Structure 1
C-alpha cells in the first residue's frame, strides 16, 4: 500500500482475545512532523496480551495509555509501543533516518519528530524493537543500582528478565543467576553465557533480587532468595489479579525491602539528570550488543498479526519476542545505516 492513497493499516484489539486490521486515514505531516514507514514492530507479550484480554484495571486506564493509542480500554483499542521504521517525509535532517517510536502496530504513521529516536547504525532494525524492554530493564537498574561484588538473582528469563540479565552481566558481580522454569528459555540464555538455572538450583543470600516472572511462585522465590536487609525489585505487572505476596514469616525480621520499578518514571538514581528521551537513547545504544538477539523470536508478516497473537495466547513466548515484518522492511535496512549521521 502506498502513502499516496491517504490511508494506513493498523491493528485494533476489538474484544477479549480478538483483533483485526483496520484501514484508517493517514494525515499529511505538518510542521515538525514526520511520515514514518514501519519496517518492524514487536509484540510486548505481557502488556499487550493483558490488553487483548481486557485485563486493564479501571484504576489504571489513564496510566496504561500508550503515547499514540487510539480508542479506549477495554475495547476497541489500538495499542502497542515497539515500532521501528524509516522517515519518508518530514524535516530534511530526518528523511531517510531509521527511527524507533512508541507507536502501535501500523504500517505508516505521522508523528511529531520529538517522539522519534534514531536507531544507531550498528543496531539491526529487528533488534531495535527490543528498545522497550531494554529501557524497562535499564530503569530497574537505576531504581536499585547493583554494587561491585554483589550476588544478584533475576527471577524470570523472559523479555524483561532477559534484557536485565544481559545488562547485569556487564557489572563486576560475584555471581548472577537467572531463575527460569522453561527449559527452552534456559538453554537460549545459557547460549549467550548467562547462568540460567531452574528455580530448585537457586542460590540464597542475595544482595539484590529482580522479579520479572509475573507469577506468585516467582515472587515468593524472589523474597526467599534475598539476604537480610536486601532489596527485591518488582518489575512484574499483574493487571487486575491481586497476587498473594508472602509477607509473613521472616519478611519483617529480615528487614527486606520490596521496591516497585515501572518505566513511566525515570529510576530514582537518575531522575534529576535524565529524561525519558535520554533513557530511551541509552537503551538503543546498549542494543549494539548482538547477545540481545537471543530475546528475539520468529518473524511474522504484519498481515498475519492476528495469527501471531493467537499463537502467543496458546503457546507462550519461550522463543522470544515475536517480530512483525512490514512490506517495506527489505528496502529500509540498507538506507538506514548509510543515512545515520
Structure 2
C-alpha cells in the first residue's frame, strides 16, 4: 500500500457499510501520521448512526471530530482510536496515542489531536477513553455527594463506568440495575452491587439512567426519592419517549436532567477544557479492572459484518474492540 493511502470504514447507507481505500491529506506543519492498533465501537451512538437514526435536527451536533461525509450516509464515523505515530516531529515518532478518529488503519491529523497514553495504560484498554470522558461528564452533571444512595439503570459500558466513578465517593451506596443477568460479572469485577430489579422504589438520592431504552427512564423516575435528580445519559436518536409524568413526578419535585459529552458543564468550564478532560479519562484507565468492560474483539476487515450484527442486538457484548494488522 502506498504511504499516501489508507483504508477506512464507511457507512454507505443506513444499515450497510464497507471498507474503502482513500487518499490521505498532504502533511502540514505539526501533523502526525498514525497507524492504528485498535479502535472501539461506541455501541449506543454508533449503532444509531449505522442504522440512520440520527434526527435531521441533530446532524451538526452529532458530528464527530474527524468525521467525513454527512448523515445519514455515506459517512465515516467513530471516535475511539489508539495507534502509534509513524511520521511527524522526530521526538514523537513511536508514541502510542489516543485520537477521536473514525475506524481507519492509518490517518494524518494535527499533532495536538493525538494524545499520548500515560504510563501504565495499555493500548488495548485505551479504547475506553471516550467512554470514560462521557462518564466523567455524567459524574460532573450528577454531582453525587458522600453518603448518597445512588441507583444506576443500565449496565452497558457507560453505566458501568459511571457507577465505578460513583462507587469511589465516601459512604455512597451504589447499585447497578440491568435486566440482563450476564452484566453481573462485569459489575462484580468493578466492585459494584448488581440487581436485576427492585420490587419497591429505591428512594434514591440520585438516579442515573443509561439503559438506552425509554421504559428504563420511566423506571428511573420510579426509584427517585423526594427532590432527587434523575440524570439521563441515554440517547434515543429519532425514537420518541413517553414518560409517566402524571404520577409522582411533580409531587416529589423531581429534577430530570440531561447530560451530553459534547459540552463541559458550566460549573467546570472556567478551569476545564476538552484536552484536560481527556487527560483525566486516560489517567483513570490505569485501573486494570476496567479490562472487564471489553468483551469482544474482531479484525478490521470484518468491521462491516460486526456493525451489522451489533445493530441487530449484538448479544451480551459490552465494548467491542477492533484490531488492526
- Measured in 2, the distance between the counterparts of 1:269 and 1:93 equals 37
Return the TM-score normalized by structure 1. 0.92
Q: State the alpha-carbon separation in 2 of the partners of residues 160 and 55 from structure 1.
A: 20
Whether 1:36 aligns to 2:34 is: yes
**C-alpha distance after superposition, 1:145-171 (max 9, x if no partner):** 211111001110001101111111211
Which residue of structure 1 lines up, in the alignment, with residue 260 of structure 2? 262
Unaligned runs of 5+ in 2: none
Q: CA deviation at 1:85?
A: 0.3
Following superposition, the deviation at residue 317 of structure 1 comes to 5.2
What does 1:182-331 correspond to in 2, within 5 Å? Answer: 182-200=180-198, 204-316=202-314, 318-327=316-325
Distance of 2:168 and 2:280 partners within structure 1: 15
1:118 aligned to 98, 116, 119, which one?
116
CA contact (8 A) 2:85 2:95 kept: yes
Q: 1:139 aligns with which of 137, 140, 147?
A: 137
Counterpart contact for 2:38–2:321, Cα < 8 Å: yes
State the Cα deviation string for residues 172-218 of structure 1 (Å, max 9, x = none): 13410001111111233123321111023576111111110111221
Report the 3-state secondary structure (helix = DSSP H, G, I; strand = E; otherwise coil) of the residue aligned with 2:48: helix
Distance 1:240 1:193 in 2: 35
Conserved in 2, the CA contact under 8 Å of 1:184 and 1:319?
A: no
Residue 267 and residue 317 in structure 1: after superposition, are their counterparts in 2 closer, same or farther (change >3 A)?
farther
Cα deviation per residue 1:13-68 (whole Å; 9 max; x = unaligned)? 01121100000002342201100010000011111100111111000000011111
SS of the residue corresponding to residue 199 of structure 1 reads: coil
Q: Distance in 2 between matches of 1:202 and 1:7?
A: 58
Structure 1, unmatched stretches of 5+, are 328-341
Mapped to 2, the partners of 1:214 and 1:316 lie a distance apart of 14
**Residue 17 to residue 202, structure 1, CA distance change in 2 (3 Å):** farther
Secondary structure, counterpart of 1:238 in structure 2: coil
CA drift of 1:92 comes to: 2.3
Tell me, in whole angstroms, the C-alpha distance in 2 between the residues paired with 1:192 and 1:202: 25
1:102 maps to 2:104: no
1:8 aligns with 2:6: yes
State the alpha-carbon separation in 1 of the partners of residues 302 and 112 from structure 2.
Answer: 31
Residue equivalent to 1:77: 75
State the distance in 2 between where 1:271 and 1:262 align.
14
